[in-house]
Amino acid sequence: MSRVYNFSAGPAVLPEEVLKQAAAEMLDYNGCGMSINEMSHRSKTFDQVIQTAEQDIRDLMNIPDNYKVLFLQGGASQQFAAVPMNLMQNKKAAYIVTGQWAKKALAEAKKYGDAVEVASSADKTFSYIPDCSDLDIPEDADYVYICENNTIYGTKFKKLPNTKGHILVSDVSSCFLSEPVNVNDYGVIYGGVQKNVGPAGLVISIIREDLIRDDVPDFVPTMLKWKTQADNGSLYNTPNCWAIYMCGLVFKWLKSQGGLVEMKKRNEEKAAILYDFLDNSKMFKGTVRPEDRSLMNVPFVTDSDDLNAKFIAEATANGLVSLKGHRSVGGMRASIYNAMPKEGVQKLVDFMEAFEKNNG
Ligand SMILES: Cc1ncc(COP(=O)(O)O)c(C=O)c1O
């Protein structure tokens, strides 16, 4: 068996211990004589899987009792629609546009109400986080929306926006469980799990209870109404049992490693190795304003498309894979999620250093 260092933005690297445990339990989960993939989602065994997963994410994130944790389908993109459908009482919302995902969420919200852009970093290809200390937020806005970590551009909100008393909704898909957060600062936190937590197709939404309402518009599909999912413990229909199980294993792994404080420490160390190199390299350059740099997604470029292509090809041949930047920006991007070991980042930097020497 030969595992590569996988820098994919998502689906992405998972902890090897978790993959091994899942493999070991594939034919016979916990003495049941069958796989998680084969058992009823209403069985006692699966009930324990989902209950344990919920308790573990509650412990990891210190989620207060007045927040529900929902395991939902449709990925993060489905929540682009669910958010306005469930929250737009006044049919008004304020969006901070820091990249493609926030832009898509805004476009979706516009289908249901008056969603306005109150800040943007589009003027510099989303390479920074705009000042959000005094935004012109409509007084009757139902919520303020951010994409907290911008997977494509490699920026991260280091300070949450001043919402002027409005509810904050945050898409944390690419920074989920990468560091401690104060859940009380948010009305809704949600993330597709396929970057830092588990297999694609599952989105976890953490929603303050008073925001889960029965009186949403009639047109809202039953499945997209948070109340349906909350009342049924995320089991209104057949959920993505496999993904919930895998996330549960990752939660246990995170706990065994020391939780989110330890993850933050490791993520800072890993990111520093790469950013320090980029800051000193003559060939490779980071594309993000330093104070807004993400710990998870690190985009970088050389000044030549040919050199970028050569680098990606040679890195791949050396077991450093999925380094191509998003199709909308080009260049390179290294995603260094929780499960990327420090040695992987060090190997990448060593390779970049050698490449620079050989091609300078
Ligand atoms: C920040 C962010 N939001 C949303 C999405 C979309 O997630 P999904 O594919 O689960 O809909 C992605 C990436 O896939 C992302 O990086």
Q: What CATH fold (topology level) applies to the domain 258-359?
A: Aspartate Aminotransferase, domain 1 (3.90.1150)
In the chain, where the domains are located: 16-256, 258-359
Tell me, yes or no, if 210 is annotated catalytic: no
pLDDT tens across 310-358, in order? Answer: 999 999 999 999 999 998 788 999 999 999 999 999 999 999 999 999 9
CA 29 to ligand 1 centroid distance, Å: 30
**Closest-lying ligand 1 atom to the alpha carbon of residue 101:** 3
Interacting residues of 296 by C-beta distance below 8 A, sequence separation 6+: 149, 151, 156, 174, 175, 178, 195, 196, 267, 335, 336, 337
Tell me, yes or no, if 101 is annotated catalytic: yes
Domains 16-256 and 258-359 equal at CATH topology level: no
Considering Cα of 11, then 15, then 18, then 22, what sign does the dihedral take? positive
Nearest residue (by CA) to ligand 1, atom 7, is 76
Which of the following is catalytic: 56, 142, 171, 292? 171
Q: Can you give the pLDDT at residue 2?
A: 86
Report which secondary-structure segment, H or E, holds 117. strand 114-120
pLDDT tens across 42-90, in order? Answer: 999 999 999 999 999 999 999 999 999 999 999 999 999 999 999 999 9
Tell me the C-alpha distance between 20 and 8, whole Å: 20
Pair 204, 76: CB distance under 8 Å? no
Tell me the C-alpha distance between 76 and 98, whole Å: 16
Nearest residue (by CA) to ligand 1, atom 15, is 173
CATH class of 16-256: alpha beta
pLDDT tens for the 360 residues of the chain, in order: 789 999 999 999 999 999 999 999 999 999 999 999 999 999 999 999 999 999 999 999 999 999 999 999 999 999 999 999 999 999 999 999 999 999 999 999 999 999 999 999 999 999 999 999 999 999 999 999 999 999 999 999 999 999 999 999 999 999 999 999 999 999 999 999 999 999 999 999 999 999 999 999 999 999 999 999 999 999 999 999 999 999 999 999 999 999 999 999 999 999 999 999 999 999 999 999 999 999 999 999 999 999 999 999 999 999 999 999 998 788 999 999 999 999 999 999 999 999 999 998
Ligand 1 site-directed mutation target among 80, 173, 178, most atoms within 8 Å of CB: 173
Nearest residue (by CA) to ligand 1, atom 5, is 76
The reported pTM is 0.98
Q: Which residues line ligand 1 (CB under 6 A)?
A: 10, 75-77, 101, 147, 151, 171, 173-174, 192
Which of the following is catalytic: 56, 68, 92, 101? 101
CA distances from 82 to 64, 78, 141, 266 (A): 22, 6, 17, 34
**Closest-lying ligand 1 atom to the alpha carbon of residue 148:** 1
Tell me, yes or no, if 347 is annotated catalytic: no
Q: Which of 17, 43, 11, 13 is nearest to 30 (CA)?
A: 43
